[in-house]
């Protein structure tokens, strides 16, 4: 045992406080983004598109059809009125088809043209730009807004800030009232709200959505797009090298650097410079504050603002446009973009199939539903006349918006006697519950179970007859 055991010295070392380095947190505070105003083809198209959808949203609940609000999602009555169509919880397949069609339409558009939904049609983007417009009108252009926020509070700053926030609150309130007006009769909502007679829940949701709109479009803005919206996270799964996205042509733009307009293209090349003048306008106009020259980023919403800004600079410099453009990875690498490809075709096929099913379900939909409930207390019973009787409860749902009169008949059982109303009237969207019974002579039926049908049909309009035959069972125990 001549070998020595190695011993590690673990004596604690005293560390002076002055030698301790305080590390900074691994995150940085959010820097406010001051979006610069931009003009160009994409900005004009985005504004036009935004005005169209904003107009549809604002006018939608005010349209009347057949004497009532054309679009009303009445949650209290559990029915949705869409012009002449009334949907009930029983019409769940229509909702499922609509959601599936919307999802695959989004997948198709994203695979083809990237995140254009976010840049041109998303309500968050539209309302953010509306709020920015009021911000520009009250506080000035980008540089003025930066200086205003750096300045101490004075009378001028207070007036400008108060005007901006007043405008934001009014826009948020009108937005909230309009949105809630899709679920509550909008004429009554506006009158009751401004006369302080609105119900608790209607008033609660108006205030709730006002606060949400004010916070989302006024303060959170790009945070909604980059951190809260799930679409930003899973959109990359739908991208491929042929997807059109806003991209910077690094081969043409690098090396970046400022230069005089008087320099010829040969002099610029001798300095080793590309077409990018490094003006940073593409960053200043971006609503999410990214630099598109750093490559594809999930924060990019494909609004095209940087394309317009860069094209304006290229035009002033006398260079070719589209240094930043909607492009595919293949095209930037010198190849060709494949428009028709398996993924896109698959999305288009599923979208076409589901859209067809949705249209077929709407067209073939019958605005009448009959539900039959058997009496569970007894399978059958004998009447004082010696007949065998089964008792049922009919629920007749008029899915239309106008009052209808129906006749009721029993089919499938010969010489059957029907006890109950044979004609009834149901108002639009109403449910009529009718207890009835069917009886038959025991000498004319064998013991067991027999299928019968209740035939319900409209009367009064021979050109538009609506009829439903609902099956049920007639039971004779033979005891």
DSSP result, 430-446:
-EEEEEEEEEE-GGGS-
Query: How confident is the model at residue 15, as a pLDDT?
Result: 46
Asked if residue 400 lies in contact with residue 86, where contact means CB atoms within 8 angstroms, the answer is: yes
* CA separation for the pair 207, 212 (Å, rounded): 9
Task: Give φ, ψ of 238 to 5 degrees.
Answer: -100, -10
Query: What local confidence, expressed as pLDDT, does residue 478 receive?
Result: 80
Contacts of residues 263-269 at CB distance under 8 Å and 24 or more positions apart, as own/partner, are: none
The pLDDT score that the predictor gives to residue 12 is 56
Distance (Å, rounded) from C-alpha 305 to C-alpha 203?
38
Per residue in 265-285, pLDDT tens?
778 888 889 999 999 999 999
Let me know: does 241 contact 328? Beta carbons within 8 Å.
Answer: yes
Nearest to 303 by CA among 26, 39, 43: 43
Q: Range with the lowest mean pLDDT among 10-14, 95-99, 141-145, 467-471?
A: 10-14
Q: Which of these, 302, 285, 316, lies nearest to 245 by C-alpha position?
A: 302
Check residue 59 and give its pLDDT. 95
309 CB neighbour count, 10 Å cutoff: 26
Residues with Cβ within 8 Å of 448's Cβ and at least 6 positions away in sequence, in order, are 475, 476, 478
Of 361 and 15, more confident: 361
pLDDT tens readout for residues 2-58:
555 666 555 555 545 444 444 444 444 567 899 999 999 999 999 998 899 999 999
Over residues 176-182, the mean pLDDT reads 96
Q: What is residue 326's three-state secondary structure?
A: strand
236: DSSP letter:
G
The structure's pTM equals: 0.80
pLDDT at 208: 97
Tens of pLDDT, residues 189-213: 999 999 999 999 999 999 999 999 9
Query: 202: closest CA among 371, 360, 14, 76?
Result: 76
**pLDDT higher than threshold 70 for residue 463:** no
pLDDT of residue 356: 95
Q: Name 200's Cβ contacts closer than 8 Å, sequence gap at least 6.
A: none
pLDDT tens digits along 219-267: 999 898 888 888 877 777 888 899 999 999 999 999 999 988 888 877 8
Alpha-carbon distance of 134 to 280, in angstroms, equals 24
pLDDT score of 462: 64
Residue 395's closest CA among 371, 428, 368, 423? 371
pLDDT, residue 393, reads 93
pLDDT at 165 exceeding the cut of 60: yes
What residues form DSSP beta bridges with 435?
393
Nearest to 149 by CA among 137, 160, 165, 134: 160
Burial environment of residue 210 by CB neighbours within 10 A (0 to 12, 13 to 18, 19 or more) = buried
**DSSP-based three-state secondary structure for 224:** helix
User: With bands split at pLDDT 50, 70 and 90, how would you rate the model's confidence at 133?
Assistant: very high
What does the pLDDT average to over 331-336?
Answer: 87
Q: Where are the domains positioned within the chain? A: 240-332, 368-476
Comparing CA positions, the residue from 194, 199, 185, 189 lying closest to residue 67 is 185
What's the CA gap between 273 and 257, in Å, rounded?
6
Model confidence at 362: pLDDT above 60: yes
Please report the sign of the dihedral spanned by the C-alpha atoms of residue 66, residue 70, residue 75, residue 80. Answer: positive
Query: Percent of the chain, pLDDT > 90?
Result: 59
Q: What pLDDT, on a 0 to 100 scale, did the predictor assign at position 20?
A: 42
* Opening angle at CA 398, ends 393 and 403, nearest 5: 120
Beta-strand pair 324-327/245-248: antiparallel
CB atoms within 10 A of CB 276: 24
Q: State both tokens at 38.
A: 């931009």
Q: Is 332 exposed, middle or buried (0-12, 13-18, 19+ CB in 10 A)?
A: middle
325 DSSP β-pair partners: 247
Count of CB atoms within 10 A of residue 202's CB?
Answer: 19
Q: Partners of 68 in the beta sheet?
A: 65
8 A C-beta contact, residue 35 and residue 285? yes
CB neighbour burial string for 359-371, b if at least 16 within 10 angstroms, e if fewer: eeeeeeeebbbbe
Q: Which of the listed CATH numbers 3.30.230.70, 3.10.20.340, 2.60.40.10, 3.40.1360.10 matches domain 368-476?
A: 2.60.40.10
- Whether 88 and 74 have beta carbons less than 8 Å apart is answered as no
Read off the tokens for 476. 């004779």
Average pLDDT, the chain: 88
């Amino acid at each position: 045992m001549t070998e020595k055991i190695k011993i590690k010295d673990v004596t604690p070392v005293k560390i002076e406080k002055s030698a301790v380095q305080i590390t900074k947190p691994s995150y940085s505070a959010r820097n406010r983004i001051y979006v610069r105003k931009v003009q160009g083809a994409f900005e004009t198209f985005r504004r036009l598109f935004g005005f169209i959808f904003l107009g549809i949203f604002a006018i939608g609940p005010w349209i009347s059809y057949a004497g009532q609000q054309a679009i009303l999602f009445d949650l209290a009555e559990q029915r949705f009125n869409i012009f002449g169509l009334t949907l009930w919880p029983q019409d769940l397949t229509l909702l499922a088809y609509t959601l599936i069609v919307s999802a695959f339409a989004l997948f198709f558009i994203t695979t083809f043209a990237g995140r254009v939904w976010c840049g041109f049609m998303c309500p968050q983007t539209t309302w953010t730009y509306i709020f920015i417009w009021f911000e520009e009108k009250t506080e000035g252009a980008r540089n003025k807004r930066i200086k205003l926020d750096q300045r101490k509070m004075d009378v001028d700053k207070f007036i400008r800030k108060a005007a901006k926030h007043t405008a934001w609150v009014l826009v948020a309130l009108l937005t909230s009232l309009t949105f809630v007006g899709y679920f509550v009769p909008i004429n009554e909502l506006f009158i009751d709200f401004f006369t302080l007679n609105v119900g608790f829940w209607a008033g609660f949701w108006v205030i709730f959505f006002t606060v949400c709109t004010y916070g989302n479009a006024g303060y959170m803005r790009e945070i909604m797009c980059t951190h809260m919206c799930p679409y930003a996270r899973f959109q990359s799964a739908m991208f491929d090298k042929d997807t059109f996205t806003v991209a910077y042509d690094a081969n043409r733009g690098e090396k970046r650097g400022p230069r005089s307009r008087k320099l010829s293209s040969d002099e610029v090349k001798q300095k080793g410079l590309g077409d990018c003048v490094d003006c940073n306008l593409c960053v200043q106009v971006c609503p999410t504050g990214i630099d598109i020259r750093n490559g594809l980023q999930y924060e990019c919403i494909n609004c095209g603002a940087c394309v317009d800004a860069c094209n304006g600079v290229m035009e002033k410099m006398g260079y070719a446009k589209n240094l930043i453009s909607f492009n595919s990875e293949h095209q930037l690498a010198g190849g060709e973009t494949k428009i028709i490809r398996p993924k896109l075709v698959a999305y288009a096929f599923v979208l076409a199939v589901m859209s067809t099913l949705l249209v077929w379900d709407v067209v073939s939909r019958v605005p009448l539903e009959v539900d039959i409930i058997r009496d569970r207390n007894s399978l059958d019973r004998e009447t004082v006349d010696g007949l065998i009787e089964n008792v049922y409860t009919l629920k007749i749902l008029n899915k239309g918006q106008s009052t209808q009169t129906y006749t009721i008949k029993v089919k499938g059982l010969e010489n059957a006697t029907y006890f109950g109303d044979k004609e009834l009237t149901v108002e639009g969207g109403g449910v009529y519950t009718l207890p009835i019974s069917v009886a038959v002579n025991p000498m004319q039926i064998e013991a067991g179970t027999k299928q019968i049908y209740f035939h319900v049909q409209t009367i009064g309009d021979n050109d538009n007859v609506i009829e439903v035959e609902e099956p049920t069972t007639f039971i004779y125990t033979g005891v």
